[in-house]
Structure formats: C-alpha cells, structure tokens
C-alpha cells in the first residue's frame, strides 16, 4: 500500500498566493498609473494641426523680415524685481511703441511668461514679469501691432538665469 500524504488546503500552499499576488500587484500598479494619467494632463497636445502648420509658414516670413531689417535685441531680467530691460537695434523706422516678449517653456505650459515692453527712450524698452523665470526657454520678440506676414519677429532658445544679459539675432 501507498502511504498517502495529506495535501494541505489551497490557502496553505505557496503557489496560489504567489499567482494572486502577481494579479493584485498588476491591479495596484494599473490604478496608480491611471491616477497619474488623469491628474497630469499633457499640455503639449495641439488640437488644430492645420492651423499650427500654417502658423509655421507665417513665422518663417516674419523671421525673413527681421533678417532684412538686420534686427537684434539685447535684454536682461532683473533677479529681484523682474524688470526687463531691452535694447532693439536694426533698420526699423519708426520704432514701435510696444514690443511683446514671450518666454515659452518647451514642455510645461504653466511656466510660460509674457510681457508687454514699452518704449522709454530711443531704442530702449522696459517691461515687468509677474513671476521669475529660469531654465531653458524659447524666446519670441515681436511687434504686437504688426501680426502676420507684415510683421517681424526675433526668436531663439536660451538658458535663462536671472541677472544675465542675452542677445537675440535675426536668423
């Protein structure tokens, strides 16, 4: 006769708990990833690709206009007050009364900053930022009164640290 080993019930064995553990772990990780996806919406997604594509062509014409006018700008951002000082140089007559300076974070839309710069004398402009900016930013300087193909823009990408002097050149 064979000696019968008594088999313990399923809940006292290792393998059922191991398999259930894998399933429970997968569900917990899945719910965690779902929570992260729902709370951190992607700000980079554009809803109108056709309009964005047309805007690229418009920007190229504005860049060409800035090259033809030999435009360049030097600016700095005060680290304490957030004051922006800008000097615009080139063959632009008459000089615009205001300029729009956009500082755009490449990946996080909530870090984008914009300031309207007012001409104070000659080719000197001043503006104010409500909040500080630092890090890698795309910079866009243009005349807000001349949008579209009739306007110009200076654009670039800079590593911004407050208190430093920066230069934008028509490209």
Share in percent of the chain as helix, strand, coil (round to 5):
30, 30, 35
pLDDT tens digit string along 59-117? Answer: 677 778 778 888 888 888 887 788 888 888 888 788 888 888 888 888 777 778 888 88
Of 22-36, 47-61, 79-93, highest mean pLDDT: 22-36
The pLDDT value given to residue 35: 94
Spatial strand order of the sheet with 124-128 comes to 153-160, 135-142, 98-104, 113-121, 124-128, 83-89, 72-77, 165-169
How far apart (Å, rounded) are the C-alpha atoms in residues 135 and 108? 12
Q: Is the pLDDT score of 50 beyond 80?
A: no
Q: Could you give the 3-state DSSP secondary structure of residue 19? A: helix
């Amino acid at each position: 006769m064979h000696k019968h080993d008594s088999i313990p019930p399923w809940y006292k064995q290792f393998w059922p708990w191991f398999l259930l553990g894998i399933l429970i772990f997968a569900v917990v990780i899945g719910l965690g990833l779902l929570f992260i996806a729902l709370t951190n919406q992607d700000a980079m997604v554009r809803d109108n690709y056709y309009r964005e594509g047309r805007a690229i062509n418009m920007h190229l014409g504005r860049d060409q206009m800035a090259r033809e006018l030999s435009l360049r700008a030097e600016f700095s951002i005060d680290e304490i007050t957030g004051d922006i000082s800008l000097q615009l140089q080139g063959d632009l007559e008459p000089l615009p009364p205001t300029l729009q300076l956009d500082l755009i974070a490449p990946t996080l839309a909530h870090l984008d900053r914009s300031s309207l710069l007012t001409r104070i004398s000659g080719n000197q402009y001043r503006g104010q930022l409500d909040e500080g900016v630092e890090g890698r930013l795309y910079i866009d300087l243009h005349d807000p009164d001349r949008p579209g193909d009739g306007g110009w823009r200076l654009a670039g990408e800079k590593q911004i640290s407050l208190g430093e002097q920066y230069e934008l050149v028509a490209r």
